[in-house]
Amino acid sequence: MQRSKEQLLEESTYPHLAAFLRNGGTLEVGEDFSLGAFARIRKGNKMVHVHDRYRDFAAILKEMDSKAKDHWNESEKPQTPENR
């Protein structure tokens, strides 16, 4: 773990998103003719759709941080027949 003084402001503001990206995840924000504006995070073949339409990028980053935390918690669960 990095000391907080060595971290970028964004890393300390969005710690789960920063960890998600460090572990091979990607952050995708863009616009597509079929989808319109989109924001999503992706790791491997799993994609987490964050928002269809957005106006405030800081709000999108906050939501991405929350989704990254959810993804992390979900991937940490032991695999049982019920949650496969």
Q: What is the pLDDT of residues 44-75, one digit of tens each?
A: 888 887 776 666 777 788 888 888 888 888 87
Q: Mean pLDDT over residues 19-42, rounded?
A: 81
47: Cβ–Cβ under 8 A, 6 or more apart, which residues? Answer: 40, 41
Please state at what angle helix 57-76 crosses helix 15-22, rounded to 10 degrees: 60
Residue 42 has φ and ψ, to the nearest 5°, of -140, 140
Would you state the pLDDT for residue 28? Answer: 83
Mean pLDDT of 17-40: 81
pTM (whole model) above 0.85: no
Question: Looking at residue 47, what is its pLDDT?
Answer: 83
pLDDT at position 55 is: 64
Range with the poorest average pLDDT among 7-11, 30-34, 70-74:
7-11
Burial of 37: CB neighbours in 10 Å, binned 0-12, 13-18, 19+: middle
